[in-house]
Structures are given as structure tokens and as C-alpha cells.
Amino acid sequence: MSYLICLKPKVVPFVADNMGMALIKRIDFDGNKELLAFADQSNYFFSSDSSEQYMVFYHARIYSKEKLKQQLAAKGVISRASCDGELIIDAYRVYGEKCVEHFEGVFSFVLLHREVIFAARDKIGQCAIYYFCDREVICLANSLKLILRTNLVDKVLDVEAIYSYLLMKAFEQPLTPIKGIRSLLPAQVFKYASGVTRVYSFWDLRLLFAQIVEEEKVETLSLKMLDILKKNLQDNIDDDSRPLGLLLSGGVDSCVLASLLKEISPNPLHSFTIYFDDNDPARYFGRLMAENKKINHHEILFSAEKLSDVFIDYLKGLDLPVANSGYMMYLVASLGKKYNISQYFCGEGADSIFGLNSAWQLFDRVDKSIAFSQRVPKSVRLCFLSFLRDRFAQLCAFSLTRKRKGVLFFYTYLTNKLGLFKWKGSTIDEKHLNKIFSDPPASFDPDVVAKGYRDMVAGLNLGQTSTQNTYLTLKTYQSNQQLPSFYSVSSHFEAEVSLPFLSLDMIRMCLCLPNNLKKDKFLLRRAMDSYLPRELAQKPSASFGIPFEKWIKHELKSFVDDVFSEETIKKRGLFDYKWMKKIHKQFLKGNYFVSEIDIWSFVVLEYWLRVHVDQANVPKLSEQQESLL
């Protein structure tokens, strides 16, 4: 499912290391340039007649193929496409660049026609595509790792991108760790023609937020939701008899998928539950659901020792460093390979689309009580919010605890209002983070991330803070943190993951629901009332939390000590050892402003750079611990 397209001067030699793909096509381009196209044996398609030739390299699952074929027929083109690649070409013949507006599904592709390079990414961003472009060279691939394995890109670290990663725990797209390499955003197009490159958006998530639906009865809505989920699953199931995999957390989302998959697919179904100890509720509820539906069930104990064993291979699968995502997908896909599973289903995205985080509801209440502040000029308001946040920060630091919930809540609220959409345990702030860089660029602006988030919601008129945060969750958290790790880790095992809750139809419906139907996923539970055992249907939602704080203070302490050592820090040359040592000590003392996820983000970054940039022979974590001891 991998592809790499390189356009370079003929005089520049091409060297690549361990790509695992064949050279499919070499094409003369613009006279003095040549285009090299690499792919595996399953994801490219050539179409030619006497006057035209098209080639497409893709990772795609186009939904509603017959509907699209009917649209093409109405335009005078009879499509007999037997694969997604051929259908992409047929649509491009009719609609040109606007073909992407007619695609429903998940995709990334590069299409070659004459001397035009046309690439696109799906609307939600479930499939990835990365690019490098300068005056001489263009590289496009559905994996960042493939570009890094060539000799065409200087592996210079992007300090501003790394700053945003350490602040938000994921790289804010289009940024990557390497200068010049970018990712296409969801619903973006890359086009090269006549020596000119353009990158532009063909759709935006805000369009779904602008739609209004008429009020309907709960029974009608629940049936509608059920129909959408069934259609999403049917669109994603391959037309063969291979077994399917399901990440079964024991929560209502994955249990819903378990019930529907058993109903609509004859394929063998394997479920996988990750648990941390024998008393983990996920283990009990996952087993309960599997027994109820007679599913082949597997349980995987996730421990510090397990992380030690798989961590380096996990990083080899990651296109981008991410502090707290992808581990569950890795463990499941590595075991599922034994059962010849190449497709997994996951309930990821349900929390995002129902979007009724309890803290966000409190944010809405605070907003109402200080609505008068909106009359104050924005620049003055931001300065005042920043001042208040600093005061609450001092209170948090003084208490040296996370137990002062009131103080902590208002600090989090002010952080959110200033534009920083924090997620998954990140607590380090811009002022602390800015000090650790040994040589920040002269133009470095520590407020750049917050400005980016404020710009995203500016002028959208989304109303409540909870609605704005739902938009940002789908716009950034999913596409920055969750989807890239799920996509690249599953691809590492020659598999793919399908996320039925993140279809456009499902997102559109959930955004328009009143809060009483979103709360605790009321409508989803109502729709599945007859499908789930009562104990599961009434089970409250719970998060998947890895006990990093305990692990990195004990079992993985020597590993963390290695990354924070003076030798490692000075060799990397990014950070100031004095300040790194200080924040490490603050974490060990329990200071709120440095969490376990903050510390782990440094570990993931350093080892990802060793694997993919230094390309060192990195030992397993357990071997690393032994050498340090």
C-alpha cells in the first residue's frame, strides 16, 4: 500500500535505502528532468489509449462506486472500473481537478497525466500524503519514512515544528520534524504543472457545521444513526472471505461495532482487548461482549515490559512522532498478523463527534457568566486572559498538586480561551518550553501555535466553546494525533484500519444533535438498545489511559534518564541541558507544569529521530536499560 513519486534533474543521482518497493515507471519530464515512480504490487493503475495516458498511485477506498459511475455516465463516460485507481482516473477524465469533490471515502493518491502531477488527500484525513518541493526536486509519498530514505532531502530538523510537537504532543499539520517536508492537510490538493506548484483546499470541515437539520423524533434519529453505521461498515468491508479484526475496548463504541459486524458480515471476526492488570474493567467488558456475540476473542496485557520489547519496532512504523497514540493499534496489528488479518475496525472518533466533554460544558457556563467581556477589544481581552492565566499558574505551582480542581479548572479554561487546544495530558506551557531550546530561530514566536488555533475558529460563528472544541477536535486532534499513528502503524503490518464513526454522514448527523442526545452518547445507546447486553448498554464511558507516570518513574526510569542525559542532549544539539535537567526534576517532584506525557514526548522524539533520521541501529528498550545499568 506504499508509493513514492520523485521528480528530479537527470544529472542528480537517486539513492534510496530499504524502501521495499519496485521501480514501476521512469518518465522523461520537462526535458532535463525525470520522474521515478515506486510502489508495491497492489496500489497503482495505468490507463491508456491512442492519445492519452494516465497513471495513478493510490491508497484508497472509494464509497458509493455505482453512484459515481452513474454520474460519469450522465457526462458521457461509461466507467467499467474494477478498482479504486481506475475509478479515480475515470473521474479525473470527466471532472479534472474537481474530481476530488465527487469522491466519498478515504484516499490519498498521486495521478500523472502528460507532465502534470496531481495529488489529493481525503476530507477527514484518514489517509496520509507527504511532499517535499524545492526548485529542483519534488517528492510525494503516502509515508514520510519513504521520503527520508532517499538522498534527495537534507534531513535538517525544523525547530518550530518540534516546539509545536512538544507543546501539543503531536505535529501540527502540515508541519513535520524535517524542514521542507510537509503533509497535505485533509481535503487538500497538490498540483504541479508547467513548472508551477500549487497547494490548495477543495473542501473544509466548517461546511458541515454550517448545515442545519430539522428536528426529528428520537426514534427516527436512532434508526437513522443505525442505518448510517451499517452503511459505513458495508462500505469498508473487503469483498473477500479474509478475517476481520476489531479493537474491542469494552466501551459502547466498539461494542456497537462488534454487534453490527457480526450481523452484516459473514467473514470470521477476531476481537482484541488491551488491558493493564487483571482488574481492568476493559478486560471484563470486552470478554462479556465477545462471549455474547460468539466472537474469536484475544486479550493482550500491556505492561512496561511489553512496551520495552516493542517500542523500537513501534517507532519504525510511525511516520510522525506522537506522544500518546498508536500503541493499542500496534499491539493488536502485531498479534492479528498471525491470523492473516489485514483489516481492522475501531471505535475511534465517537468521542469526537458526540463532542460533549464534561469540562467543555462547564466552559460554556463560564462563557455565559462573563458574556459582557466580548465587548472588550480582542487584543485587550487576550492580554487580560494571559495575565489571569499566569496568576492561576502561580497558584497551581504553589500548591504543587493536581488536587486543587477549582484552580486547575480555571487555568485550563484560560488556556483554552487563549487558543491552546490541549489534549491527552499535556501541561507544560509556552514559557517553560521556550527556555529549553538551545538556539531558537530569531523569528521564533512561542505564541505561534495558539495563534493558529485562534485563526481556525475566527469568523466561524460556532457559538459555544464546546462547539468550537468539537470543531478543533475533528480538525486537529484527529488528523494530527490519532489518524496518522493509526494509519502508519497498521500499514507497518500490511493492514489498514477503518473508522466508521468518522464518515461524513455520521459527523454531519452528530453535529446537528441537541446536547441532551449527545450526552453520554444517549442516542447511540438508544439506537443499539436491542443489540447490547444491558450491563454494557448502561456502562458509563471511560478513557484509555496508559500509566506512564508510574512506568517512567520506575520500570522505564533508566530509559528516560538516557534521553535526559547531558551526553544525549548535547549530541542532539536541540535543547539546553540545564533547562532539560530542571524540568525533569520538576516532574519527579510532582510539579503540575511537567506531566508524564510531557516527559514521554521527549523520549518518543529522541528515539524516533534515532530510528528515522540518524538511522542508527537502536537496541530494544530492555537492552538499553541493561547497558545503562
Where b means 16+ CB within 10 Å and e means fewer, 312-331 reads bebbebbbbbbbbbbbbbbb
What distance in Å separates the CA atoms of residue 125 and residue 128, rounded to the nearest whole number?
7
> Annotated binding site: which residue ranges?
84, 247, 274
Neighbours of 74 (CB within 10 A): 9
- CA 629 – CA 626 distance, rounded (Å): 5
CB atoms within 10 A of CB 485: 25
As a whole number of angstroms, the distance between CA 301 and CA 545 comes to: 14
Contact assessment for residue 64 and residue 70, using Cβ atoms and an 8 Å cutoff: no
Dist. CA 410–CA 362, nearest whole Å = 10
Binding residues for L-glutamine: 84
Q: Quote the cell numbers at residue 158.
A: 525544523
**Per-residue DSSP letters for 508-566?**
HHHHTS-HHHHGGGHHHHHHTTTTS-HHHHTPPP------HHHHHHTTTHHHHHHHTSH
CB atoms under 10 Å from CB of 43, counted, come to: 19
With cell 444517549, the residue in question is 522
CB 502, CB 353: distance < 8 Å? yes
The annotated binding site for ATP is made up of 247, 274
Q: Which helix (H) or strand (E) holds 108?
A: strand 105-113
Is the separation of the CB atoms in 515 and 228 below 8 Å? no
Query: Strand, helix or coil at 483?
Result: helix
Q: 251 and 541 in contact (C-beta within 8 Å)? A: yes
Q: Is 288 exposed, middle or buried (0-12, 13-18, 19+ CB in 10 A)?
A: middle
Identify whether the C-beta of residue 495 lies closer than 8 Å to the C-beta of residue 346.
Answer: no
The amino acid at residue 108 is: S
The helix/strand/coil state of 475 is helix
In 3D, which of 162, 124, 130, 160 has the Cα closest to residue 143?
A: 130
> What ranges in 426-501 are assigned the alpha helix state H?
430-435, 448-457, 465-472, 483-492
